Amino acid sequence: MDLIGLDTAYEILDTMYRRGGRDRRHAPAPMLKQMVTAGLLGRKSGRGFYTYEKAGSPVVIADESTPVPAEDAGSSDAIHQKIRKVGVIGSGTMATGIIEVFARNGYEVVSVTRARSGRPRCPRRSRSR
């Protein structure tokens, strides 16, 4: 989504939802709209799911919310062994279950949910003990 723009992805999903019989499978996630409203549009704004060197740059900056790419992504085993952090957007039953499963299996989990104000909350991190 960062590559094409979160705003573009939102508009595509919203159009599919409205013209496709309002099937919930095509409805854009509320968090996506909040990210777009906050100006997090992906590469074109310099920030989306990843942080970029500057607006329009393809260079990803390693920060607390951007995963570090695996050096050797040649096999699925290599990728599996190097992933230690996952992100979950949402606060429902499904999101809670996903967070619990990953945390129990030793992954650091970054969770982004909506605050009561409707704006995205700062990421919450959890780790199994």
* Whether the predicted pLDDT of 113 surpasses 50: yes
Provide the residue ranges of all domains of the chain, joining segments of one domain with +. Answer: 1-66, 68-129
* Whether the predicted pLDDT of 103 surpasses 70: yes
Least confidently predicted of 12-16, 93-97, 111-115: 111-115
Does an H or E element contain 7, and which? helix 6-19
Task: Report the amino acid identity of residue 18.
Answer: R
Kindly report the number of other CB atoms within 10 A of residue 85's CB atom: 16
Predicted pLDDT at 106: 87
Predicted pLDDT at 125: 57
Q: What is the CATH number of domain 1-66?
A: 1.10.1040.10
Comparing C-alpha atoms, which of 50, 56, 54 is closest to residue 35? Answer: 50
Predicted pLDDT at 80: 46
d(C-alpha 83, C-alpha 70), whole Å: 8
Q: What is the pLDDT of residues 25-79, one digit of tens each?
A: 889 999 999 999 999 999 999 999 999 999 999 998 888 777 655 554 455 554 4
